[in-house]
Each structure stands twice: as structure tokens, then as C-alpha cells.
């Protein structure tokens, strides 16, 4: 387990405790100001293609997220930006400005990878995902994603990281996600 995962688990146990996690509530409970970026303001004009931001202003931790993105993307963005704050990435006078590219699994920046790991673990705690997948009849990615309040893509990545699914096969009825039998 890395530092970002451990921190996310600690935050989950102390501030969240139930599913789906409300990252806005968690961030506010931890002292962050959380606000949407209004696409009709001049601030948005200065931040085109911006999914989210994390910055400090006079000692206050700010998280902003794009109000024009889907609610699932907004949830991941807020958790990601909270990760930047808690992992010590945000320093006085700097602003983390994230575009949709920073949320990809292949992102090269260490800080962005750590914030992604933090967000994924906060929203989809590994132990709970494994329990839901192995100890219940929920093996459908869409149902799991809905229960955890994340996208199907995010859940599929999590299940692959946990070695619960191995590949994607597509048949005439749509996408199927086979799982490891052992």
C-alpha cells in the first residue's frame, strides 16, 4: 500500500464511513472551501478546459471543480483535488489546474498519479470493492459503479487493479467483464 492509498483509507474511516462517499462533504469537513467553477464567469474564461483546481489563498485550502462536467466526473475531480491538498502538493502561490488529461491512468506526473490513486481509493476503498464483488451477487460493473458513485470506467480500472477482472470481451449484447476465478 502506498502513501496515497493509506491516506485515503484514513480519510475514509475518519470522515466518510458510508457509500457512496460525498467528496464535497469530506473536503469541507476537512476545512477546504469547495466551489464549482461557473462556466459563465470570467474565472472560467481564464481556465478553459479546466476540470478542477486546488490552491491556497491566505491560508485557506480551495477546491474548485467544473460545473459543466458530469456529476460522476465532479465527484472524482473533488476527491482528486483534495488529494493534492492532503498529499502536500499544493504550496503557497501555486495552483494545481487539472484538465481531463490529468485523470488518465497513463499520466506521467508523480503528483497527478498520486492524486488519482488517492481519489480512487477514497471513492472506491479496495476492501469494500473486494467485499462487494466477492461476497455478494454484484458482479456487474455498472451496478458496482452505481453503488460507489463512480463511472463504469473508473470501476473497471479498480477491478483490474485488484485482479478481480482480467479483460473485456464484447459480444452482441454489449460489453461483458469476465472475472478471475482464482
Secondary structure (DSSP) of 61-106 = EEEEEETTS-HHHHHHHHHHHHHHHHTT---TT-EEEE-GGGGSTT
Q: How far apart are alpha carbons 123 and 22 in whole angstroms?
A: 8
* pLDDT of 179 above 50: no
Looking at every residue in the chain, the average pLDDT score rounds to 83
Report yes or no on whether pTM surpasses 0.75: yes
Provide the CB-side half-sphere exposure for 8 (13 A, CA). 28
| pLDDT tens string 131-168 | 999 887 667 888 999 999 999 989 998 999 999 887 65
- pLDDT band for position 56 (cuts 50, 70, 90): very high
Q: What is the pLDDT of residue 45?
A: 47
Q: Which CATH fold would you assign to the domain 127-176?
A: Arc Repressor Mutant, subunit A (1.10.10)
Q: What is the pLDDT of residue 117?
A: 95
* pLDDT of 99 above 70: no
- pLDDT band for position 33 (cuts 50, 70, 90): very high
Cα angle, residue 17 at apex, residues 77 and 129 outer, rounded to 5°: 70
Q: What is the pLDDT of residue 165?
A: 84
* pLDDT of 102 above 70: no
Q: What is the pLDDT of residue 18?
A: 86
* CATH number for the domain whose boundaries are 3-120: 1.10.10
Q: What is the pLDDT of residue 22?
A: 97
Q: What is the pLDDT of residue 174?
A: 55
Residues of the chain with CATH 1.10.10: 3-120, 127-176
Closest CA relative to residue 3, chosen from 86, 77, 102 = 86
Amino acid at each position: 500500500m502506498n502513501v496515497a492509498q493509506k491516506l485515503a483509507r484514513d480519510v475514509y474511516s475518519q470522515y466518510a464511513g458510508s457509500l457512496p462517499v460525498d467528496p464535497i462533504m469530506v473536503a469541507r469537513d476537512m476545512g477546504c472551501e469547495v466551489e464549482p467553477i461557473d462556466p459563465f464567469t470570467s474565472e472560467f474564461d481564464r481556465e478553459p478546459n479546466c476540470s478542477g483546481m486546488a490552491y491556497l489563498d491566505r491560508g485557506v485550502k480551495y477546491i474548485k471543480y467544473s460545473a459543466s462536467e458530469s456529476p460522476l466526473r465532479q465527484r472524482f475531480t473533488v476527491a482528486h483535488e483534495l488529494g493534492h491538498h492532503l498529499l502536500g502538493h499544493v504550496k503557497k502561490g501555486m495552483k494545481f489546474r487539472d484538465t481531463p488529461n490529468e485523470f488518465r491512468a497513463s499520466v506521467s506526473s508523480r503528483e497527478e498519479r498520486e492524486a488519482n490513486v488517492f481519489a480512487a481509493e477514497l471513492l472506491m476503498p479496495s476492501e469494500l470493492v473486494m467485499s462487494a464483488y466477492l461476497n455478494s451477487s454484484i458482479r456487474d460493473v455498472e451496478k458496482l459503479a452505481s453503488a460507489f458513485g463512480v463511472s463504469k470506467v473508473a470501476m473497471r480500472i479498480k477491478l483490474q487493479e485488484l485482479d478481480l477482472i482480467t479483460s473485456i470481451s464484447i459480444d452482441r449484447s454489449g460489453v461483458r467483464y469476465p472475472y478471475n476465478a482464482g
